[in-house]
Structure 1
Amino acid sequence: MITRIDLRGRTLSRRELLDTLPRAEVDVEHAAEVVAPIVADVRKRGAAALRELAERFDGVRPEHLRVPTDAITAALEVLDPQVRAALEETIQRVRLVHAAQRPADFTVQVAPGAQVRQRWIPVRRVGLYVPGGLAVYPSSVVMNVVAAQAAGVESLAVASPPQKDRGGLPDPVVLATAALLGVDEVYAVGGAQAVAMFAYGAAGSQDVDGETLCEPVDVVTGPGNVYVAAAKRLVRGVVGIDAEAGPTEIAVLADITADANHVAADLISQAEHDPLAASVLVTSSVELAGAVEAKLVDRVDATFHRARVQTALSGTQSAIVLVDDVEAGLEVVNAYGAEHLEIQTRDAAAVAERVTSAGAIFVGPYSPVSLGDYMAGSNHVLPTGGCAHYASGLGVHSYLRAVQVVEYDADALSEVADRIVAFADAEGLPAHGEAVRARF
């Protein structure tokens, strides 16, 4: 069901490791060619294009592209009380963590009369995408919205695909979650077309209720399939984006002390997202590897999304990687840069401190990725495809800009005037120096 890669006794360079480790093959460039006409069509024709694309891709033509406020309210009124309680607990925990993420402004006195301040300013408006294909993700509503609200963003819009069996509205739990968070601007728009709508707006278009449709945003965030990732690539520069998210990934670094049943359950938990999902176990224990393989057989047969999980686990993106020891395992997981990395070893906390590349790290047997997906308080919108080598997960920082404020008085400028002139002349830009001389 899942292949083995045996790295024991081998010394590989970083390049060789990257070539050897499993990874989902996602052709964003080809997807960009597919979605480019979609993005252009939405930019040109606005609401008319959005309705036609919904009919084409979602099998329904929404009466309202912007979901009526009463539909959002009604979704909350009929929400299952247990689901509501779970959402409220998640919101509270995610708010606690994200409130602590807000960076502080600072002021530096460079010299008497000379100061540089740094202010963190939220973007004006954001577009938050919530997938709705193989599964629906009210949890992603929480992750996107809470981070933006904690950053101080004043205008938030959410988009999620229209559901054919819901009369063209997004999933009702998605709508109810928006209501819990105080968001009333929600669009029944999915895929690449939602990204295009956020980036370019739907200028001049009217929804059937006569209200102007979505205004352009400054930043687009949220997970999605390869076509959403491609659309983000196409509009990057027009707007900011969080990342080009690919299929989800879990890597588990484990030794003989790990519980094979826990490991198997965690690998399956991510595999059920998508046939392209990656589940990777890195272990120094052949005994554990064999036990996990046996548990996978039993658990896959019993799981709800059996076919999807089996496809993901047997794909080239998933594997059990055998290494000589935990030290070698650390080298492997740092090269892999997983979206989610679990540490299930002796001294797991100490091992986790030595991880340098991961979207999020889950330490010990009672911190499964599922906890982070819903209720840890951390954000579950994380870098995939190795992007954890240089990118962070979604957070308050995703919606902030650092702006430096420079304030010098006459004496402070005079003190460095000659040096500025010398610098400007050395760069062949004498007018720069003259702009300083003109003040004296």
Structure 2
Amino acid sequence: TMLVFQNVPEASIDLPGVRSVMEAVESSSIKYDLSWTFSETRAADDSVALNGHLQFSLDLFDRATVEALAQRLLLVLRAMVADPAARMSTIDVLGEEERHRILVEWNDTAAEVEPATLPGLVQDQAKRTPDAVAVVAGGVELSYAELNERANRLARFLIGRGVGPERFVAVQMPRSVELVVALLAVAKAGGAYMPVDPGYPDDRKAFMVADAAPVVVLTSDGVDVGDVGGTDVVVLDEPAVIRQVAQQPATDVTDDERREPLRREHPVYVIYTSGSTGRPKGVVVEHRSVVDYLAYTRKTYSAAEGVALVHSPVAFDLTVTALYTPLVSGGRIVMAGLEDEDAETAALLSRTPNTFLKATPSHLPLLENLPADYSPSGHLLLGGEALHSEGLHKWRAQHPHAVVSNVYGPTEATVNCTEFRIEPGQKLPDGVVPIGRPQSNAQV
């Protein structure tokens, strides 16, 4: 961009019987993408005027965008003339019409969402597709009916251990079907789960447990849970625990059995951020927020009705999308890592190809070098960090028929709040891919 200010008096041609005037001349070339030229002119009465001229590249800007830029500049100039002492931070660059368009019209995303809880959504899906495979991990698979029944039994066991609404449960387990059962069971009991990655440093584990004060820590044999203070630790694959859980009824848990009725305003999980400010921070998310988010993902990502590869730890909210969208849509989740390719997972994905995946842009090189079945044939969601188009070209060339979405949102906004969708064959924007427009019931 170039800004030019001309304050040299204009030269004039003084010939008998000849009058000269300045005329604008069209040009097919431009030296800069955007060029602003301002000229100061002085009239015969010594009054001063400022004339502006704007040139722009048609390859980068359309006329409406440039006119909007010019209108914003005019607002700034008028404000400066009205109050030369005004601070720049107090000057409004948006007119009323544009402000209304940005803040109101573009954020008109209201959508009705059923008044449900997370376990209620999964229970409803289990009734619709009881015999369909819900989750696969480590050579074990559970149908929707089996997943729901096992979660119901464990939920009742947890209620007996003091789990209920407004109470946290730490879940420190490796990737497995038992992990999915545990998360769902905590929600059914009315509690809020706090996922703790077994690979976290001991001091981080200890901080999270001390900070959240869970009523119980759920884990499995062989996992070092670290220093949990006096918190009750339940090893779910211990024979005694297995027997106690198996004795519980398999029917859906009711409010009469919970410590208090489960409400949409109750927390469903707490996820600790990476601690970029020096200390991890717990973000509590309510049932109504997750249900609202899943209403959007279920409607938008039809590929989740197929097979979803869940590769990321549940301690990251990125996993919420790939874990729960299929489970409320009748899809199948396959728990397997991208970094540890194994023959069993490769064979499984070759039989039932992956259709839905959520990852970060940093995972793209891994996907490019893994067997094609690890990449989704339907929809790839990328989030968690800035997406550069250069890093996406190779993967799109390998999978030209897949939809790609660049999604954005802080953990506090419940996973994502904006999306930029790239359809097959659509040209990628240069440089950084935009974060897109707000999702339903989100405003930015």
TM bin (shorter chain): under 0.3
Q: Kindly name which structure, 1 or 2, has the bigger radius of gyration based on alpha carbons.
A: 2
As a proportion of its length, which structure holds more helix?
Answer: 1
Q: Greater RCO between the two (CA within 8 Å, min separation 6)?
A: 1
With the length of structure 1 as denominator, give the TM-score of the two structures.
0.22
